[in-house]
Structure 1
Amino acid sequence: MSLFNVFKISGSAMSAQSMRLNTVASNLANADSVVSSDGKPYQSKQVVFKAVQDAANQSSTVEVDRVIEDTKPGKMVYDPKHPMANADGYITMPNVNVTEEMVNMISASRAYQNNVETMNAAKTMLLKTLNIGQ
């Protein structure tokens, strides 16, 4: 495998992790929203990755396969004075678990950082290889 493939592989992983970070940010931003744009409680979203095989280079890259909505029910909060409360006085809050989302954010940012360091190491090796020929 060529060192140039490292840039392709790490670049695809950085792109996928960037999408994951954006999704986590969206989930955190809507953690306290009572309704989303469709008038229903916000549903937490999760990114699903897939590996893409490159037979010519004998390598794999990663892509975002899809973004799915979490099917867990939302939290029921008793607030009878709220305009969105049901007949029993409960409002349905988003199913976003802030702690899980923070862990996802830390994990995605570390994965992104690791791919940046991998690309920098490959760049350094290529530069040193070019310097050998001088």
Structure 2
Amino acid sequence: MSSISSIAVSGLKAATRRLEVSASNIANQQSTGALPGANGTVPAGAPQAYKPLQVNQTDTSTGGTQTSLSTTSPATVPVSDPQAPFANADGMVAAPNVDLAQEFIGQMVAKYSYTANLASLKTDREMSKALLDATA
């Protein structure tokens, strides 16, 4: 595989991972839990809120890209839900810190990135084929 192809494939993988993480964040945005105490821990037996993830993308020395995951900071925000069995005395629970607008923008960026990297792969293939046809 040419270096152009390997760079494009790393971009495809990064775009795919970005889309997977965003989909998971959106799917779990309603997964609330008990508010953490002052020490940052949730009471024993109480559910924990989903902790949204973010993709960190970095360049590699070979020209491609790689991704790693981290938890969004802050991972949760307090919201009012006095009906929840795990709500605190003030009726507050922890909700995942998911910004739907940012998630949708991230999904569009992943789509365009995937499309661009796919076009690079196609062009590399066509150039290689033309080169081989010219030497034959």
TM-score band w.r.t. shorter chain = 0.7 to 0.9
Match for 2:64 among 51, 61, 66? 61
| Counterpart amino acid of residue 51 in structure 2 | Q
SS at match of 1:25: helix
Q: In structure 2, how many angstroms separate the alpha carbons of the residues matched to 1:108 and 1:123?
A: 23
Indicate if the aligned counterparts of 2:54 and 2:69 stay in contact, CA closer than 8 A. Answer: yes
CA contact (8 A) 1:14 1:115 kept: yes
Match of 2:48? Answer: 40
> Aligned to 2:109, which of 107, 111, 132?
107
Partner of 1:17: 15
Q: Which moved more, 1:68-77 or 1:107-116?
A: 68-77
For 1:105-132, what per-residue CA distance to the aligned partner results, in whole angstroms no more than 9, with x for missing partners?
Answer: 1101110111001100111111122222
1:52 alignment partner in structure 2: 60
> What is the alpha-carbon distance in structure 1 between the residues aligned to residue 134 and residue 75 of structure 2?
61
**TM-score normalised over the length of structure 2:** 0.81
Q: 1:119 to 1:73 in 2, by over 3 A?
A: closer
- What is the aligned partner in structure 2 of residue 26 from structure 1? 24
Give the count of matched residue pairs. Answer: 124
Deviation of the 1:92 alpha carbon: 1.8
Q: Secondary structure at the match of 1:71?
A: coil
The change in CA–CA distance for 1:88 and 1:97 in structure 2 (over 3 A counts) is: same
CA deviation after TM superposition for structure 1 residue 73, in Å: 5.5
Identity of aligned residues (%): 26
Structure 1, unmatched stretches of 5+, are 55-59
Report if aligned partners of 1:45, 1:70 keep a CA contact under 8 Å in 2. yes
| Partner Cα separation in structure 1 for residue 18 and residue 71 of structure 2 | 13
CA distance in 2, matches of 1:104, 1:25: 10
- Supply the distance in 1 between the matched residues of 2:126 and 2:94 (Cα, whole angstroms): 53
Following the alignment from structure 2 to structure 1, what is the Cα–Cα distance between the partners of residues 31 and 103? 15
Deviation at 1:74, TM superposition (A): 2.8
| Aligned equivalent of 1:6 | 4
